[in-house]
Amino acid sequence: MVTVTSDKGAQWWAWLLAMAVHVMFALVLILGVAWPRHVTTPMEAELWSTKDMDATMTRVPPPQPANPPPPPKAEPAPRPTPVPPLLPKSELTPKSEDARDVDIALKKKQEKEEKARKQAEQHKREMEQEARQMKADALREQLADEAAQSARDEARRDQAARLALKAHAAQATLIDRYKQAIIRKIRNNTQVPDGVPDGVSLEVDLTVLPTGEVLMPVKIIKSSASPAYDRAVIQGIMRSQPLPLPDDPDLRREFRTTHLQLKHEK
């Protein structure tokens, strides 16, 4: 009895044993088929005693030739006959008229296809060259437009700067004109006491509202060294309210902080 276990070694031995049995069975079949079968015929033999044979028979040595013939010479092997090279089938058999026509037609077709391919390549190169030229022209036009636009922008900036300078100059002139009007009004409302020397000057900063009113106190930037003149000018400022201002609101904002220099002149 063979006990089958789960051990791998036992499985290998069982596998090898099965293979050996199959190999032996195959050999038996092969040998049984290939074994030569000869039909044996019955043989007859007479038994003689060796003593009787020695008494009745004499040993005769085999005859020896007087001059044995020399051994035959080995003939050289014949050289192989060279076989001419095989010619192509096209050279062995002449082409027929139909085959030649087919070859000519095929050659013409190939030449036509080659010509078409070259024409297509030439057309492609021309299209690419034209595309590059168009791109270069477009780039030049773009650069020219940008240069022209830059020149126009520069001209506009210059013109705007000139206009701004002109407007600023006009605004400065208008502001100065209103400042002179304010100074004249303050001088007309200032009662300078006697004894104030001629030529004394007072510098003040005024905070002016859009209505022309002045916020107090007035800030003295540089005194005239004459307290009587300083007091008289401040009283004149209070009596001059509202100060004359331009109608334009933007220009009125320029008078928010107004610096004035008031000089006593007899």
Lowest mean pLDDT among 6-15, 88-97, 135-144: 88-97
Instruction: Identify the pLDDT of residue 46.
Output: 55
The residue-averaged pLDDT of 181-187 equals 94
- Euclidean distance between CA atoms 135 and 175, whole angstroms: 58
Q: Domain with 261 in it: what CATH number? A: 3.30.1150.10
Residue type at position 83: V
Confidence of residue 58 (pLDDT cuts 50, 70, 90): low
User: How many domains, the chain?
Assistant: 1
Closest to 261 in 3D by CA, of 208, 216, 205: 205
Is residue 94's pLDDT more than 80?
A: no
What is the greatest pairwise CA distance in the chain? 208
Give the H or E element holding residue 252. Answer: helix 249-253
Domain annotation covers residue 30: no
Instruction: Identify the pLDDT of residue 47.
Output: 52
Domain that holds residue 131: 98-266
Instruction: Identify the pLDDT of residue 5.
Output: 47
The model's pTM: 0.43
DSSP, collapsed to helix, strand or coil, labels residue 52 as: helix
The residue-averaged pLDDT of 231-248 equals 93
Domain annotation covers residue 122: yes
Domain annotation covers residue 119: yes
- Return the higher-pLDDT residue of 247 and 48: 247
**Structure-block tokens of residue 215:** 């916020």
- Exposure of 229 by Cβ count < 10 A (0-12 exposed, 13-18 middle, 19+ buried)? buried
